[in-house]
Amino acid sequence: MDADEAAPQGPGAPPAAPEKPGAPPDPSPSASRTPGPSPDPSPSAPQRPEASPDAPLDAPPPQPPRSDPAPDPATGTAIGTATPDGPGISGIAGLPLPYRIGVALALAAVAVAVCVHLGMVFLHVAPPNTVSKQHAATIDDWVYPEFEQNWKLFAPNPLQQNVAVQVRAQIRTPDGAVRTTSWYDLSAADGRAIDGNPLPSHTQQNALRRAWDYYAATHDGDNRVTGPRGTLAETYVRRLVVLRLVREGAAGEGGSVERVQVRSSTTNVAPPPWSEEEISLDPVHRVLPWWQVPAGERTGDMG
């Protein structure tokens, strides 16, 4: 009789000795159990893929295949993936170092230019103070004439005149002859460009008008300079009218503008019918002397 058959059975039998580590399982019928039906998994529980019979017991579950993004040609690293320095970064911070340095320098230059411009304009329009008086020449060179500030819109007595600026020129033709053009009404040309245009450009509206106001404010009725910026105002008006003449084709093919003459016609705006104000509506003409155009500006090249 075997030892297993001699072992007592029943409720009073002593417990079986524990199996030794590494010992093979007991092949006796008493050691095997009939597996019962397993409960149905919950519908909400995730289903894990079955492991391969040859896979080790502590192996992680298989992962679904994924497609890796294409590598960045500049860095050789897949775009949007983790790098040794950290997770994927988008925007300027994700650019290579040379590009980031270039962007930082460009932004710094723009910021400095904006701050300098705002500071100059502020000192120009602010009441006189120690800084504006000490650096008056530098401020004027920066502001005039392109960034001059004008507050007539908010003045108690706004501008109530129509000013027409006209110009004519002496042209040197390719064969050496000199001819004088007729008068070009530059203000009327600007008016035609603005009329019906919902978004007219700043130059069409203000360049010629502000240039003439600038000249009139720095010269007296005999066209003599009355301020330190009189020469600059004259140069600005001369260059502006020469550019307009070249644009209009006044010099013709192969011709050049040697001298220009500017005149203005100023007419007061009529008061409304209910006003008792009486003003003259007769135009006032102002004719400037002939200006010699420098050789480098005769063809419209102001470089």
Is residue 6's pLDDT more than 50? no
The overall pTM is greater than 0.75: no
Burial of 214 (0-12, 13-18, 19+ CB in 10 A): buried
The residue-averaged pLDDT of 133-142 equals: 89
Q: How many helices (H) and strands (E) does the chain have?
A: 8, 6
Burial of 142 (0-12, 13-18, 19+ CB in 10 A): middle
Q: How far apart are CA 233 and CA 144, in angstroms?
A: 9
Q: Are 169 and 180 in contact (CB under 8 A)?
A: yes
Burial of 56 (0-12, 13-18, 19+ CB in 10 A): exposed
Is residue 151's pLDDT more than 90? no
Q: How far apart are CA 141 and CA 126, in angstroms?
A: 16
CB atoms within 10 A of CB 119: 13
Q: How far apart are CA 78 and CA 68, in angstroms?
A: 8
Q: How far apart are CA 298 and CA 296, in angstroms?
A: 6
CB atoms within 10 A of CB 145: 18
Longest dimension (CA), the chain: 147
pLDDT in tens, 187-239: 999 999 888 888 888 778 888 988 999 999 999 989 999 988 899 999 999 99
Q: How far is CA 276 from CA 107, 161, 246, 280, 281, in A?
A: 58, 18, 46, 13, 15
pLDDT in tens, 15-59: 555 555 555 555 454 444 554 555 554 555 455 555 555 555 565
pLDDT in tens, 89-132: 677 788 888 898 999 999 999 999 999 999 998 998 888 888 88
Sign of CA dihedral 289, 290, 293, 299: positive
